[in-house]
Structure 1
C-alpha cells in the first residue's frame, strides 16, 4: 500500500508573458529546493518532486497574463537553510525581494519564510514549518 499524498491541492498554475524567461527562472529557483520539471509542453512546464504540482504557462486563452492581488504561491521546504537557498536563487534569477528570510511570528511560532516577486510579478514564498517551535 502506498502512502497517501498529504497535499490538498492537485496543482496551481501561473501565467507568464515570457515563457522562456519564466521557465528559466523557475528551473533555477525550484532546483534550489529539490523540485524539478516533471512535464513539458510547447508553452507550459510543470514542476514537482513526483507529480506536476506547479505549472508555468502562457495563458490558454491567448490573452496577456496578469497577477492576482492577494494571490501568492508558497513552497514548503524542509529547513531554514532551504528557505534561504530559495530566496538567494530567486534574487539571483531576477526576482525582486518582497520579504527577506526570517521568522513570521504573526503566522505562528513555527513559521519561517521568505517572499519574492518573480519576473512576471507573481508573489512566491518558501516556508519551513519548524515543529520544534510548536506550542
Structure 2
C-alpha cells in the first residue's frame, strides 16, 4: 500500500445541480489521483482512496446548490505527473482553467499544483508537496 499523507479533515461535501454530469466529471478527474467511488446513496457519491473523503451530492434541503465565495477544495496528488493529469482530465471533462499546473512561490518551494472550476463552478485544486525541496 502507498503511504497516504495524513489529513486533518474527515470529509467535505459539495452540492451540485447536475448530479449525473458532476459525478461523471469527478469519476474521470479524481481517478488521476488514485481516487474512486467509495460509497453511494441516492443523490450522493463519495470518493476517496481508502475511505469516503469527498462527497458530491444534491443538497439535502432540496434547494438549489450554490457556490461559496472564497471556498475551494484541494486534493493531494502523489507526484507532479498526477497534478498534470488531473488538470488535463478536468479540462477534457468540461472544467474551466483557473491556474495551470506549476509551482507557486507564494506557497513555498515544495508546492506544485493547479486550479480549475468544475461543472458547477466550484474551485478545485490538485497539489503535490515535494518534501525534498523543504
* TM-score band w.r.t. shorter chain: over 0.9
The answer to whether the aligner puts 1:63 opposite 2:63 as a matched pair is yes
Shift of 1:8: 1.1
TM (norm. structure 2) is 0.95
Q: How many residues align?
A: 132
The answer to whether the aligner puts 1:34 opposite 2:34 as a matched pair is yes
Shift of 1:30: 0.4
Q: Aligned partners of 2:22 and 2:6: how far apart in 1?
A: 28
Q: Aligned partners of 1:6 and 1:109: how far apart in 2?
A: 20
Contact 2:94 2:119 in 1 (8 A): yes
Q: Aligned partners of 1:10 and 1:107: how far apart in 2?
A: 24
Shift of 1:58: 0.1
Aligned equivalent of 2:97: 97
Q: Aligned partners of 2:104 and 2:58: how far apart in 1?
A: 33
Task: Tell me the alpha carbon deviations over residues 8-52 of structure 1, each in whole angstroms, 9 at most, x when there is no partner.
Answer: 101000000000000000000001111000001110000000100
Contact 2:111 2:129 in 1 (8 A): yes
Q: Which runs of 5+ in 1 are unaligned?
A: none
Aligned equivalent of 1:52: 52
Aligned equivalent of 1:88: 88
Q: Which runs of 5+ in 2 are unaligned?
A: none
Aligned equivalent of 2:16: 16
Task: Tell me the alpha carbon deviations over residues 58-117 of structure 1, each in whole angstroms, 9 at most, x when there is no partner.
Answer: 000000101111100000111110000000000000000000000011011101000000
TM (norm. structure 1) is 0.95
Q: Aligned partners of 2:25 and 2:119: how far apart in 1?
A: 8
Q: Secondary structure at the match of 2:46?
A: strand
